[in-house]
Structure 1
Amino acid sequence: MNVVQEPMAVSQPLSDIYMRDYNKVKELYDYNPQTEEAWHERAAWLDQTHALRADRKALVSRLRSYNAERNPHEAVARSLDDLEDVNTLVVVGGQQSGLFTGPLLVIYKALTIIQTARMAEKRLNRKVVPVFWIAGEDHDFDEVNHTYVLSSDLQVQKIKIDHPTGERSMVSQVQVPMDAWQQAIEELSAKLPNTEFKEDFFAKLQSYAEVSCNLSDYYARIFGMLFGEAGLVLLDSADSALRSIEVPMFERIIEDNDPLEEALMQSLQDVQDHQYNSQADVTAGNANLFYIHEGTRLLLHKVDGRFTDRKQQVSFSRDELQRLVQEHPERFSNNVLTRPLMQDYLFPVLSTVLGTGEIAYWALTHRAFHAFGFRMPIIVPRMSFTFVEGTVQKQMTKYELSFADVVERFTVRKEAWLQAQDTLGLDVHFEDMKQQLNELYEPILEKLAQIQAGLGKLGETNKQKVLEQVEFLQHRAANDLAKQNETALRHWERIHSSILPLGKPQERVYNIFAYLNRYGLAWISSLYEIPLDLSGQHRVISLPQ
């Protein structure tokens, strides 16, 4: 497996600077992941602040129950035994529960979590457990209900399941019927070629569907298949059994909501002072807390001393909200800016693995961590890859295309190549012909206009019709030339569809199962051989044919 660093533009300027030149944004974060001392400093701080966090035994007990059902591997059980020890630390990261695990970047995030935990364990000479946080409390079902594969006819194909009710519920509470699972599995199977691994994989997908009632459960079981042997512990943030453990932090978020708001607003100003845009909604009066009302997740705001939603379906005083969180913790849910605080309350987080969008919006939580007595954990950028299969690499070599050519100037290179196939120079001849026609028409049009203005206009119309016929012939010749090179143009299309599907990085579109179907489950283990890169720079990985 050949691994080469190849730059790819990062869509978030703040994240780009964080990864390339940390010192320029160090005021927005607490630790530089690329320095040795940061890891020891963070571990020492965690050792001194056990009282800030949740009951470890209660947390591990719930995680054992959750993982025993969905992620029942001996390595996971050992991780949980280790986590019960007060000296054990955690590397955590998470994602929404996408269909069939969603895009490849989710796989890379899990891989980075595992690799970072292994690195930290050696560096600190103590146990460090990898944890994956499934964001099942998110309510945007349309973000997670689909995935993409490249079909045999080189089309990017979408596989999707529909929301059964359309209600704005947490993803982990949306009940997916068996026929929806079945249809999605059959669609995925139809779009992938038959291989020696296919039957086994799809038997597993079928068996998981039979015992999964929602996307998060299904996602967890697939993740267990992929990463359980590496000891990756899974958690669903919507797990109602976790809520009783989270109550003290919810109480703090309610009680200290004004200082929380002030800290978030100050961090927003810090980000803007560094000339960056906010990557999350920080607005005055936002309580940064959701309340579940009749199955719907409502974002709370502070209005005239009360907590209410935008449509005022619910309204609570601070004391009423405190009583509710004690009596019905399952009705509460974090938003994107309080989830990092809850994560640090639950776990002794040595490091968190984030994508570029997350790195940018986590800067908004910097002062909130400090306001609550915490420190922001070490942020490790998720590793970023593009897989280039042997056939695609061979075609790139044939057409003398670099990775940068495909990503930055593909259309220009493709058009230049096609023009080079015109050995007769037809395009040049056609352009010369059109120029000569314009020159021939010009004097006669002037004379026609002198006879009568209308006759001059008729002559201009006549010229345009002649030029249109020439252009028609030119396009026809170009189309026929393209047909003569149809096979080669399919190669070009395959290169582009493989590396930049839908004009986006491969990792943000394609699903892992096309690769698993071709290379088998053991292929996941081979990914651990890729060296950990704490800078998160993009790399290209060459795969066999």
Structure 2
Amino acid sequence: MNKSLSYQQTGYFSPLILDYLAQKPYLQNLYQYFPTLENFKKQIELKQNSYLESTRNRLVKSLNNQYQNTAISPKTKNNLELLTKENTFTITTGHQLNLFTGPLYFFYKIISVINLTEQLNNAYAEYNFVPVYWMATEDHDFDEINFFNFKQQKLEWKVNASGPVGELKTEQLDEVFKQFESLLNQSTNAKKLKELFINSYFNQENLAEATQYLVNELFGEYGLVIVDSNKKELKKEFIPFIKSDIFQNTAYKKVSKTKSYLEKSDYKVQVNPREINFFYQDKNLRERIIFQKNSFYVNNTDLVFSPKEIEDEIDKNPQKFSPNVILRPLYQETILPNLAYIGGGGEIAYWLELKSFFDAEKTPFPILFLRNSALLVLSKQFEKLEKLEVSIEDLFLKTNELKTVYTEKVSQLDIDFSKQKQFLEQQFQDLYQLAKKTDQSFLGAVAAQEKKQKNGLDHLEKRLLKAQKRKFESEINRVLKLQEELFPNQNLQERVLNFSEFYEAFGDQLIEKLKENLNPLNFKFSIIQLDN
């Protein structure tokens, strides 16, 4: 039973994202084109007029170097060759180097990108479209990526880490693997998972190479191209923008205005710009650059540059300048012949802060797609729902609300006292009219009595509901157990579980099922049945 819900129905998406998808006028100046198939024609023209042949050549050379020791599928090989052509464009998603891919939604991102490129290749035969995964190899938030959840266990890589995570040596993962192996069953799919982990993390030198290998093994057959942007030859293309940020604070000026604009409508702002949005990185080092007293300091170090010295350093060693979350999108759009970015709600929220900054830097702003979201439900779980007379929509409710809704559904008593309250209000209207005709001071006494009577009904309603919850406690607990299976810790499944939990049972059919059901042009939350 596959079905879909509006994102609003789920209760898990922010007002900003819901308003973006609804194309609310207030937000329309924060993006170039809304994500429709038709709008790609205009986006292609924008990118064609700005993307340089020299940049394309540099990108292709770098990718060929990155892939020289990787066994690639015919489709990926073909896509790398297509990238040399001026009528080839990319569709991109980016993500951190989470251990063993991290939360399940990583798969939804990648598959959204693959499916969109296939739709575009069908719609625009005169162009080529290549799916890209941009690895966040320069990130340094190790605590966000050093674990994955499997069978209600947190498998954590415990090691002291500093500097860009992509450069971390994939050592000291033995304990994680032992724990993972002990939780796996003896199936063929479990054996594949073990081999995938071993080949990714024990046979590769660092986390960037491990992630590239892992993602290529999972999605290479669909032609996915994986980009490690932390390369000197690619950073050379970005030199003018590094200088613009460091010396002119362009991003800070533009994004701060957009931030204020969003805050006026009470939208939650996702990221805050700094005067300088670059880190200085070197071996085991990635620290913010701060301007003080006409010098540039690298935070938490003794490194200091004069304006002339830092300009020379940018020219000689651009790879040492690492963009933060504000500048990374511009770097991506400078390097790639990109048309659209697919990201989660938080990502789209911060991209919406960047349009005026892109305009100032004369760089086309990509079409922004919210990645697909899904809930994977086993057949036996659907059967339990049916027996309990619970709809899948009910499980999206918060626990207390679900208890109430379910109790009211199964109880043979009418727990809702709305009719009685309405009747009470009508009776008191007559008393108010009577009080107005006799003694005005009597009005206060009538109002006090009305409030007392309504409070009494509320109390009785709550007592009756509480009694019925006790009566149906066994059934309610079964419903709550099912909700916890599908919404661990009252969170979306895709944000907690790892793909291996489903791969162990379904193998490659998992990816095929997701690919079949996720449509990036359909802005709905998918509920996908997996047959046991």
Quickly name the TM-score band, shorter chain normalised: 0.7 to 0.9
Alignment correspondent of 1:459: none
Alignment correspondent of 2:306: 317
The whole-number CA distance in structure 1 between the counterparts of 2:408 and 2:515 is: 44
Alignment correspondent of 1:512: 499
Alignment correspondent of 1:207: 199
Comparing 133-142 with 515-524, which one deviates more in the overlay?
A: 515-524
The whole-number CA distance in structure 2 between the counterparts of 1:159 and 1:333 is: 29
Q: Is the 8 A contact 2:251 2:326 kept in 1?
A: no
Give, as a single letter, the amino acid of the residue that structure 2 aligns with 1:201: L
Name the CA shift for 1:415/1:68 in 2 (closer, same or farther; >3 Å). Answer: farther
Q: Does 1:138 align with 2:139?
A: yes
Give, as a single letter, the amino acid of the residue that structure 2 aligns with 1:504: N
The whole-number CA distance in structure 1 between the counterparts of 2:406 and 2:2 is: 28
TM-score, structure 2 as length reference: 0.82
Give, as a single letter, the amino acid of the residue that structure 2 aligns with 1:189: E
Q: Is the 8 A contact 1:249 1:345 kept in 2?
A: no
Alignment correspondent of 1:104: 104
TM-score, structure 1 as length reference: 0.80
Shift in Å, 1:419: 11
Q: Does 1:265 align with 2:288?
A: no
Map 1:98-497; keep pairs closer than 5 Å: 98-125=98-125, 126-149=127-150, 151=151, 156-163=152-159, 165-167=160-162, 169-177=163-171, 180-239=172-231, 242-255=234-247, 257-283=248-274, 286-293=275-282, 295-311=284-300, 313-411=302-400, 413-414=402-403, 491-492=478-479, 494-497=481-484
Name the CA shift for 1:375/1:513 in 2 (closer, same or farther; >3 Å). Answer: same
The whole-number CA distance in structure 1 between the counterparts of 2:325 and 2:173 is: 29
Q: Deviations over 1:391-437 (max 9, x none)?
A: 211111111122232221444545887999999xxxxxxxxxxxxxx
Shift in Å, 1:21: 2.7
Q: Is the 8 A contact 1:105 1:508 kept in 2?
A: yes
Q: Is the 8 A contact 2:251 2:273 kept in 1?
A: no
Shift in Å, 1:120: 2.0
Alignment correspondent of 1:521: 508
Alignment correspondent of 1:472: none
Name the CA shift for 1:42/1:510 in 2 (closer, same or farther; >3 Å). Answer: same
Give, as a single letter, the amino acid of the residue that structure 2 aligns with 1:218: A
Q: Does 1:9 align with 2:11?
A: yes
Shift in Å, 1:305: 3.3
Q: Deviations over 1:224-282 (max 9, x none)?
A: 11110110100123345543454454344445x33332222222233234432321022
**C-alpha root-mean-square deviation of aligned residues, in Å?**
2.8
Name the CA shift for 1:57/1:171 in 2 (closer, same or farther; >3 Å). Answer: same
Give, as a single letter, the amino acid of the residue that structure 2 aligns with 1:98: N
Alignment correspondent of 1:72: 72
Provide runs of 4+ in structure 1 moved above 6 Å: 415-423
Name the CA shift for 1:420/1:124 in 2 (closer, same or farther; >3 Å). Answer: closer
Q: What SS class does the counterpart of residue 85 from structure 1 fall into? A: coil
Q: Is the 8 A contact 1:67 1:233 kept in 2?
A: no
Give, as a single letter, the amino acid of the residue that structure 2 aligns with 1:181: L
Q: Deviations over 1:271-307 (max 9, x none)?
A: 2344323210224xx2101101552211112223332
Name the CA shift for 1:231/1:421 in 2 (closer, same or farther; >3 Å). Answer: closer
Shift in Å, 1:531: 4.9
Alignment correspondent of 1:543: 530
Give, as a single letter, the amino acid of the residue that structure 2 aligns with 1:269: S
The whole-number CA distance in structure 1 between the counterparts of 2:393 and 2:347 is: 26
Q: Is the 8 A contact 1:34 1:535 kept in 2?
A: no
What runs of 5+ residues in structure 1 fail to find an aligned partner?
A: 424-477
Name the CA shift for 1:264/1:313 in 2 (closer, same or farther; >3 Å). Answer: farther
Give, as a single letter, the amino acid of the residue that structure 1 aligns with 2:335: L
Q: What SS class does the counterpart of residue 529 from structure 1 fall into? A: helix
The whole-number CA distance in structure 1 between the counterparts of 2:283 and 2:41 is: 46
Give, as a single letter, the amino acid of the residue that structure 1 aligns with 2:165: V
Shift in Å, 1:98: 0.6
Q: Is the 8 A contact 2:390 2:406 kept in 1?
A: no
